[in-house]
Amino acid sequence: MKSLVLRDSARLRYFTFFYLYVMQGIPSGFALTAVYNFLIGQGLSARAVGSFAATVGLPWTFQFVWGPLIDKYQYSIIGHRKQWVVLTQLVAVLASLSLLLVHDPVHELTLLGAVFFVHSVFASIQDASVDAIAISVVPVAERGRVNAFMRAGSLAGWAVGGAALSYLLHHGGFGRAAWVQSLVLLAFTVLTFFIKLERTDRLLPQFGAAQRTDRPVLTEEENPSLGWLFRELGRSIAEKHSLRAFAIIILSYLAASLFGNAYVYHLIHSLRWADTQVSVLQGTWGSLLSFAVLMGGGVLVDRLGAGRLQWWVLVFMASFLLLFNCMATEWDAYAVGFAGLAMVNLADPLLSVSAMPLLMAYCRPKIEGSQFTTYMALVNLCTVTASYLNGWLLEVTTAPRIGLGCGVLLMGLLLALYYLNPNSKAAAQAQLTAPAAAA
């Protein structure tokens, strides 16, 4: 069989990073769309489903730990950092099979959350490992396209987990859905085993005297200690200019996630939409629209700049939240309800196309991988917090009021962008797109 070597083939790189992100997206879509909506449809309280979503997402907030560890212990005879990917994929398959221990998701919610929590721990390590491999093997000229394939794979996986497994959950039972997910993950794991990063890599590890002898001898500067990595991370993130810009980004994600969770709960619990219908719409139309926004957003970032695009994204989202929640009495109309659901799914990609380039620009040399992973961990912490807060807020208020509050928050962030440089909006945007000058 001809060797599959990432370094030798651009097509193989596109395919590999696409399916690796499909592999990550399927369990997330299953847990946070199919199962989440199913639990709402079964009558669980907002606090219960919010706590479940927070439990599933919590391990993704640990990525600031995984990045430095993966960078420090990256060397392997089967391909640098590949050992992290294969090992975490195998454990993720076992965690997926552990879902078969859950016979009644509604009445075994604690066990269900615990199994998904374990799976998320290893999926988050896999995610950090794959990102690090992409940086090391993908040529600079291909990185934009590879990033597009990564995001497309994540959306495709989320669509399968959210829509297809939701249908199977209702028509075949939870156990059958868990079996299908596990078999798909196992197939992808086997495929990963046969893909090499470099032509000289081996498929199987060797031990003792047979160990690879060409491992490079690196200086402390080339392979710094974990203590140095964490200290530099703390210093970089705490810098005034990056901290200020990141605060605006993370509060934007908080507002979008908070209303998105509240709105989905309102559709199923209060307006009596079938949870399968909501999951399928999110997994099909929602994913297609999100993919279109990501592709178009990449072009706009190149033309407008990330700072200017961030401004218009916040203007659009704030306007939508304020207007849409003022017409909450019309939400029971299918067209209006569907439009709101589509916009809820678009919030994350809209924020991502402008926020990710800004965050990449703030990353320091030598720690850029770990620093960006830390930023992603903090964004994930924000969405986890939103899931938990949503459960509490819906017990004391309504989704339209939450949405109005989120709209007001986004308007406040727009004012903050002006405050960063009161001379003009353009100057404020220019400040955000030139972090190096601010440093």
pLDDT of residue 113: 94
- Most confident listed range (31-40, 279-288, 352-361, 364-373): 31-40
Pairwise CA distance, residues 29 & 181, whole Å: 11
Judge whether residue 426 has pLDDT over 50: no
Q: Which two tokens stand for residue 244?
A: 């200020």
Q: Which two tokens stand for residue 190?
A: 């086997």
Mean predicted confidence (pLDDT) in 296-316: 74
Q: What is the dihedral of CA 309, 313, 316, 322, to 10 degrees?
A: -150
Q: What is the dihedral of CA 226, 229, 235, 237, to 10 degrees?
A: -110
Question: What number of CA atoms fall less than 13 Å from residue 356's CA on the CB side?
Answer: 17
Q: Taking a C-beta distance cutoff of 8 angstroms, is the pair 370, 67 a contact?
A: yes
Its pTM stands at 0.79
> Domains of the chain by range and CATH?
1-203 (1.20.1250.20), 225-439 (1.20.1250.20)
pLDDT tens for residues 225-234? 667 777 777 7
Judge whether residue 211 has pLDDT over 60: no
More confident position, 280 or 336 = 336
Pairwise CA distance, residues 437 & 266, whole Å: 45
pLDDT tens for residues 352-387? 777 777 776 777 766 666 777 778 888 888 888 888
pLDDT tens for residues 134-147? 777 777 677 666 77
The candidate with the shortest Cα–Cα distance to 157, out of 133, 132, 136, 130, is: 130
- Note the residue count of the chain: 439
Which residues in 10-34 are b (16+ Cβ under 10 Å) and which e? Answer: eeebbbbbbbbbbbbbbbbbbbbbb
The residues near 217 (Cβ < 8 Å, ≥ 6 apart) are: none
Cβ neighbour number for residue 135 with a 10 Å cutoff:
15
Residue 138 per-residue DSSP state: S
Asked which of 77-91, 133-147, 215-229, 309-323 is least confident by mean pLDDT, the reply is 215-229
More confident position, 388 or 152 = 388
Helix then strand then coil, in percent of the chain rounded to 5, is 80, 0, 20
Residue located via tokens 């703390």: 234
Environment class of residue 62 by beta-carbon count within 10 Å: exposed (0-12), middle (13-18) or buried (19+)? middle
